[in-house]
Amino acid sequence: MLTVAPVHTTLPLMKKPIALVAAMDEEVDALLAVFPDHEAAPHFHTPFYRARHNDEQLIIAQSGVGKVNAACSLALLLSSFEPRIVVNTGCAGGLQPHHRILDFVVPEEIVYTDVDITPLGFAYGQMLGCESRFRASQDLIVRFRELAAARPEPITCHHGLLGSSDSFIHSREQIAAIRARFGDEVQCVEMEGGAIAHTCTRFGVPFLILRAVSDLPARGNNAHDFLAFLKQAARVSADLCLDFIGHLAGTQCA
């Protein structure tokens, strides 16, 4: 009988990549600027980039704006590249009176502010078949807090609840409706985080949302501020994302 000796290999197992997701050109451009070792890898008409930072493999993805675009891009990203974690970065509107432009928001929970199936006995913002709120990875939040505490210059960062919808929040009526349904819980508002949280939760992938405040909807013409501060907010958010990836490289993460 022929005996086949087992084959032993000394090749190291490659870690799965970290995925970085942003919606708009300006936000993706800011990520590519801080992770210059990258190459385009478009897939099914979706912009993806393979990147490296030290010994980390990264996938940078442009989701597009809004919940459907974000869900489509995330499903494709997760099935094609199998990242071990997802970090969503970019901009958001700060909803609290003490918020300032270029503050950071790293939410612990995410809710849809435009989903209403309350006649069927669900909480406002809760989708059928889902928990009432999606929860960011507690492990990644702990890692972020470690990073924030270790920085030589403190950063202003708000946690709590992120509100996500397919609307740019700008009017008193929109803000009043959010507060009527959620009180003062919602820290910031944007258009992709709910779908990103929903998709990652459904597929069991840990995620973190890291946004810089680009505008303040409760203080007048925030569309003007959004356009004026979009690139700067995208840049500081990408810079913080770079620091966070560096911090993860020195810690154990999922």
Active site residues: 27, 215
According to DSSP, the β-strands at 157-158 and 48-53 are unpaired
If you write DSSP's letter for every residue of the chain in order, what string do you get?
Answer: -PPPPPP---PPPPPPPEEEEESSHHHHHHHHHH--SEEE--BTTB-EEEEEETTEEEEEEE--SSHHHHHHHHHHHHHHH--SEEEEEEEEEE-STT--TT-EE--SEEEESS---GGGTPPTTPPTTS-SSEE--HHHHHHHHHHHHH-SS---EE-SEEEE-SS---SHHHHHHHHHHHTT-EEEEESSHHHHHHHHHHHT--EEEEEEEEE-GGGS-HHHHHHHHHHHHHHHHHHHHHHHHHHHHTS---
